[in-house]
Amino acid sequence: MNVFIDTEFTDFLDPQLISLGMASEYGEDFYAEVPYSDHACSAFVREAVVPLLRKIPHSYYSRPNVHLEIIKWLEIVRRDKEDVYICVDYQTDWDLFCDVLDYRVPPWCHYKLVSNEIVELMLYDFFKASQLPEHHALYDAQANRHAYRAPFSK
């Protein structure tokens, strides 16, 4: 099973998690925001990301609680104890996912870089049709789910 994740973080030099969105291939979604240091945010993050925060009810978690909520959600959405492939389009998303889980990623969760399988035109289509803003972790994860096209196997 594929779970597409996206994160928003403070800056590229010393990324600290702000929010994490997960979108399963079966249609379930999870979104979390965590405490972060405002002074650590780049100007871009202050302008493009911060105004989108605190819009989804019941999505703000302390760092210790978000770990438990992520694991609980993943255990609920995986079917028949199948392996879960955490699909990212950017390495930092995986790094921050591991960090928020305190590097205790369940053995049934596996890293999958999908940047080459994300169709840019489909991303554009998702945001145009949905009218959702980019640079929001949940919406970006949903967009990646929409735009993902698995490579052909011979």
71-114 tens-digit pLDDT: 999 999 999 999 999 999 999 999 999 999 999 999 999 999 99
Q: Secondary structure of 34-102 in the HEC alphabet?
A: CCCCHHHCCHHHHHHHHHHCCCCCCCECCHHHHHHHHHHHHHHHCCCCCCEEEEECCHHHHHHHHHHCC
Confidence of residue 150 (pLDDT cuts 50, 70, 90): confident
In the chain, how many H helices and how many E strands?
Answer: 5, 5
How remote is the C-alpha of 126 from its chain's centroid?
16
3-state secondary structure (DSSP) of residue 13: coil
45-73 tens-digit pLDDT: 999 999 999 999 999 999 889 999 999 99
Which of 63, 1, 57, 51 lies closest to 31 in space, CA to CA? Answer: 57
CATH 3.40.50.150 corresponds to the domain 2-147: no
Q: What is the reported pLDDT for 22?
A: 98
2-61 tens-digit pLDDT: 999 999 999 999 999 999 999 999 999 999 999 999 999 999 999 999 999 999 999 999
Phi, psi of 81 (to 5 degrees): 60, 30
Q: Is the pLDDT of residue 153 over 90?
A: no
Q: What is the reported pLDDT for 110?
A: 98
Model pTM score: 0.95
Using CA atoms, how far apart are residues 99 and 102, in angstroms rounded to an integer?
5
Task: Say if CB 11 and CB 46 are below 8 A apart.
Answer: no
Boundaries of every domain in the chain? 2-147
